[in-house]
Amino acid sequence: MNNTQTGKKRVFSGIQPSGNLHIGNYLGAIKNWVAEQHKYHNVFCIVDLHALTVPQDPAELYQKTREVALLYLACGIDLEHCAIFAQSHISAHSELTWLLNCVTPLGWLERMTQYKDKAAKQESVGVGLLDYPVLMAADIILYDSHYVPVGEDQKQHVELTRDIAIRFNNLYGETFVVPDVLIPKAGARVKGLDDPTAKMSKSSVTQGHALRLLDPPDVLRKSIMRATTDSLNRIAFDPENQPGVYNLLNIYQAITNKSQAEILAEFEGKGYGNLKKQVAEAVIAALEPMQTRYYEMAQDPAYIEQILKEGADRVRPIAEHRLRVAQERLGLRK
Ligand code: AQP
């Protein structure tokens, strides 16, 4: 089932406005959205309802939602191929979540690794944190999405989305497209610079953990030069024994699009200082033009409000149609 008269398939993805976007969000998600956007009809959401699953400051959440939308554009999202909007602006997301909740076994949610990790860090766990993947399933299947480009950490949630869509289709008749996950070859699992065994995460506040997309060049350089490595003094793609060096090489590979063989040849006989310098220059060169575009657009706050409104208006009919079909299947309307 193709989505439109043009025969192009639809892509859905999103990012939580739960902090400062980092190079993991860029290499795991946004860079690939931009690279492939012309092939599909794309729906790129700022998932503000998902951000509420852990405590947020309301004013900051509002501001970060706009910041993330501007960053999408600054990174190269083209509105000719993509709609950008805030999840909370289309009520069908919440409505379909309730319907899907009623067909999703509790045990499916309790075994999600992100839930277990995040719940362990909270003093009090809200129901929303457990229900996070059902809301994500609703986001995706509302738009008849065929593909979901995400980083490795979200793979389990997309698999759950497939299971929920299949279960609903089996119980109530063909209703939803069952989506496939798209994971990039490099950059799918960027680790913290301070601790290369942990995922780089926007909710971490540790200095030198993340490379934030809006960090100035000197901050980026400093964080990379201080990145944890090892004492083996060997440049190799060896995640088991050299997670810190592997992380830097992985970032470098994802940014430069070079092969592992090319990169190993480039760094042959060189030390970690040189590797870090090269990675820093590559990261700065990739982020600087994006930062310039971001700050230009940020001058006019009305601009992003308009983009979010137009984005929601453009895709709301798709979501409302699919919600209506689900409601009919369940006997809620004729
Ligand atoms: N470290 C990462 N490496 C590669 N991809 C990553 N993504 C996140 N971290 C990495 C990808 O970015 C997209 C948006 O993620 P999200 O905001 O929906 O939630 P998340 O995966 O929980 O991201 P964070 O940055 O760790 O946020 P917090 O700390 O708020 O939970 C997804 O495609 C994700 O795979």
Q: Is 118 a catalytic residue?
A: yes
All structural domains of the chain with their residue ranges: 3-183+301-329, 217-295
**Residues at CB less than 6 angstroms from ligand 1:** 15-16, 18-19, 24-25, 27-29, 150-151, 153-154, 188-190, 199-203
pLDDT > 80? residue 70 = yes
Q: What is the mean pLDDT of residues 97-125?
A: 95
pLDDT at residue number 5: 64
Instruction: Specify the residue for token string 């290499």.
Output: 27
Atom of ligand 1 nearest to the CA of 51: 30
Q: Which of the four pLDDT bands, split at 50, 70 and 90, describes residue 93?
A: very high
Whole-number Å distance between alpha carbons of 74 and 93: 26
CATH topology classification for 217-295? Tyrosyl-Transfer RNA Synthetase (1.10.240)
Q: Which of the four pLDDT bands, split at 50, 70 and 90, describes residue 1?
A: very low
How far, in Å, is the centroid of ligand 1 from the Cα of 113? Answer: 14
Q: What is the mean pLDDT of residues 24-37?
A: 97
Whole-number Å distance between alpha carbons of 286 and 256: 9
**pTM attached to this predicted model:** 0.95
pLDDT at residue number 13: 98
- From the list 31, 118, 191, 276, the catalytic residue is 118
How far, in Å, is the centroid of ligand 1 from the Cα of 203? Answer: 10
Amino acid of residue 171: L
* Token couple for 67: 């910041």
How far, in Å, is the centroid of ligand 1 from the Cα of 84? Answer: 18
Does domain 3-183+301-329 match CATH 3.40.50.620?
A: yes
